[in-house]
């Protein structure tokens, strides 16, 4: 018995010397010939940016060849948690996400016009060029906020939460067996362990109205994503008369922080701009089934999420937290109420302040008077005051309804119908599909939101000037 143990011990010792005494090294200098081609960076929401561009083209259409462009300026998208600073040892995220946001917004396509906002370095270089050349560069005037149009939106975003470790689970399993009549001459050990760490990141976006400077109400978005870090360790060891041979392996999988931020930006852009433009953006998201007719009354009356795939009209069932995401038809209750409010009230500017007025059935003219000071033509003369009148048009409910009905005329069966006939036909279909009640009037707010929500979207559209 001792003889075979001695032979195994000598064999293990020789094998250990051979392994430790031999080494090999290979250097490959021509890395450029072996590197794989670049791969397009995508997340689960990247393809939905183009779909959102199609929706903007559809819902902002003012005629057959006229689409109202959405002018947008990305001002700041940054890390507001300071975890990207050197104060944190493992600062694994960038401090500025503006370049990433610009790249993602430019993928929307459709009627989006992005205004360039220069960085401080660009302004400094332009001013330095002017001091060296002895004259003001012609492009310096373009680097000012005055090049904004009054309808340009300013987009702000920030990473507002970064909980590095909200939960941690660790499991360990160890086992050992001894042989040799209790004298410990042979020992076998096995161990296995796993650890799971969970982190959470939250990003906020908001829109500022450039003409006034205030934050547009009810357009902000707040989205959270959970990222995981998983690790596994396994080891095996065999010891005979003091000579040991073993094996161990370790594997760690960490969700990419940068990819998580990219997903948060894509999702936040679609949600924020969708709310501002009053577009049912969730039709482009992966957890929307887009049925033929979309109900809405449950959402505008309360703020609960329903499982619309298995809903019973007599017995409402709330969607559980463990329900799969693809089974939930996610809709924005806040956006739907904004559409109802916009149908009832019109917004206009007065003395650089946004104000509301009750929207009438027909278009109404808005007359505003403003006193302005006119300087005198002569140096000694006194300035005079005069009243300047400005006229604008507030669209009535009939105009809003007409704009939505235009979207339905892409269907051949609706193309030649008048507004009155088409409205009655669609109202009849909504009542039959239990989207509306028979008591909902043709010109009511519920009928308008049903028209807005179920309008057909033109796919793969491009903006036409």
Based on the structure, what is the number of domains in the chain? 2
Instruction: Confirm whether 136 is domain-assigned.
Output: yes
Instruction: Confirm whether 178 is domain-assigned.
Output: yes
Instruction: Confirm whether 300 is domain-assigned.
Output: no
Instruction: Confirm whether 213 is domain-assigned.
Output: yes
DSSP 182: T
User: Is the same domain home to 95 and 218?
Assistant: yes
User: Is the same domain home to 122 and 203?
Assistant: yes
Instruction: Confirm whether 174 is domain-assigned.
Output: yes
Instruction: Confirm whether 117 is domain-assigned.
Output: yes
Q: What is d(CA 453, CA 294) in angstroms, rounded to the nearest whole number?
A: 7
User: Is the same domain home to 124 and 266?
Assistant: yes
User: Is the same domain home to 247 and 371?
Assistant: no
Q: What is d(CA 349, CA 368) in angstroms, rounded to the nearest whole number?
A: 10
User: Is the same domain home to 343 and 260?
Assistant: no
Q: Among residues 282, 305, 325, which one ends one of the domains? A: 282
Q: What is d(CA 59, CA 54) in angstroms, rounded to the nearest whole number?
A: 9
351's torsion region: left (phi>0), alpha (psi -120 to 50) or beta? left
* 435 CB neighbour count, 10 Å cutoff: 22
Tell which residue, 95, 99, 98, has the closest CA to residue 83: 95
The pLDDT tens digits along the chain (465 residues) read 555 555 555 555 555 544 444 544 555 556 666 777 777 777 767 778 888 888 888 888 776 667 788 889 999 999 888 877 766 666 677 888 999 999 999 888 888 888 887 777 777 777 776 665 556 665 555 555 545 566 788 999 999 988 877 777 777 777 776 766 555 567 777 777 777 778 888 999 999 887 777 888 888 898 888 887 777 777 766 666 666 665 566 665 555 678 888 889 988 999 999 999 999 888 776 656 666 777 787 777 654 444 444 433 333 344 444 444 444 456 788 888 889 889 998 887 777 777 888 998 998 888 887 777 777 777 677 777 887 778 888 889 999 999 999 889 888 888 889 999 999 999 999 999 888 889 999 999 999 999 998 888 777 665 544
DSSP 141: G
User: Is the same domain home to 266 and 392?
Assistant: no
**H/E element, 372:** strand 364-374
pTM for this predicted structure: 0.74
| Residue 253, domain extent | 47-282
* CA 96 to each of CA 76, 82, 154: distance values in angstroms, whole numbers, following the listed order: 8, 11, 17
Dihedral pair phi/psi, residue 196, rounded to 5°: -130, 120
CATH number of the domain residue 58 falls in:
3.40.50
Strands (DSSP E) contained in 120-275 are: 153-179, 186-209, 221-240, 243-254
Instruction: Confirm whether 324 is domain-assigned.
Output: no
Residues across the chain? 465
Q: Among residues 282, 316, 349, which one ends one of the domains? A: 282
Instruction: Confirm whether 309 is domain-assigned.
Output: no
């Amino acid at each position: 018995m001792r003889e075979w143990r001695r032979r195994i011990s000598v064999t293990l010792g020789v094998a250990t010397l051979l392994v430790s005494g031999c080494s090999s090294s290979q250097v490959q200098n021509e890395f450029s010939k072996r590197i794989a081609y670049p791969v397009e960076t995508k997340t689960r929401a990247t393809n939905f940016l183009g779909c959102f561009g199609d929706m903007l083209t559809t819902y902002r259409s003012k005629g057959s060849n006229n689409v109202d462009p959405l002018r947008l300026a990305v001002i700041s998208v940054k890390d507001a948690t300071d975890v990207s600073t050197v104060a944190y040892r493992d600062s694994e995220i960038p401090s500025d996400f503006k370049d990433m946001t610009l790249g993602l917004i430019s993928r929307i396509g459709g009627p989006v016009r992005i205004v360039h906002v220069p960085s401080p370095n660009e302004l400094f270089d332009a001013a330095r060029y002017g001091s060296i050349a002895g004259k003001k560069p012609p492009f310096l005037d373009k680097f000012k906020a005055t090049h904004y149009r009054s309808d340009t939106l300013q987009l702000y975003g920030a990473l507002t939460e970064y909980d590095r470790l909200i939960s941690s689970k660790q499991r360990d399993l160890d086992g050992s067996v001894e042989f040799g009549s209790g004298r410990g001459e042979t020992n076998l050990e096995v161990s296995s362990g796993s650890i799971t760490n969970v982190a959470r990141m939250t990003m906020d976006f908001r829109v500022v109205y450039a003409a006034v400077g205030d934050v547009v109400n009810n357009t902000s978005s707040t989205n959270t994503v959970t990222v995981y870090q998983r690790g596994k360790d396994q080891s095996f060891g065999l010891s005979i008369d003091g000579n040991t041979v073993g094996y161990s392996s370790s594997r760690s999988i960490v969700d990419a922080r940068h990819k998580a931020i990219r997903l948060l930006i894509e999702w936040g852009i679609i949600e924020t701009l969708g709310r501002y433009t009053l577009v049912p953006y969730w039709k482009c998201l992966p957890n929307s089934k887009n049925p033929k007719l979309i109900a809405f009354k449950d959402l505008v009356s309360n703020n609960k999420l329903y499982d619309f795939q298995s809903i019973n009209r007599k017995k409402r069932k709330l969607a559980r937290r463990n329900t799969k995401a693809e089974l939930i038809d996610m809709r924005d209750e806040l956006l739907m109420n904004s559409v109802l409010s916009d149908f009832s009230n019109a917004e206009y500017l007065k003395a650089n302040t946004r104000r509301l007025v009750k929207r009438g059935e027909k278009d109404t003219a808005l007359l505003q008077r403003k006193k302005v000071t006119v300087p005198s033509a002569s140096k000694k003369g006194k300035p005079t005051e005069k009243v300047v009148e400005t006229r604008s048009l507030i669209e009535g409910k009939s105009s809003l309804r007409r704009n939505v009905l235009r979207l339905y005329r892409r269907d051949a069966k609706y193309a030649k119908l008048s507004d009155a006939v088409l409205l009655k036909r669609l109202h009849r279909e909504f009542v039959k599909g239990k989207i509306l009640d028979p008591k909902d009037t043709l010109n009511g707010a519920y009928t308008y939101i049903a028209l807005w929500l179920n309008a057909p979207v033109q796919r793969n559209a491009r903006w036409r000037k």
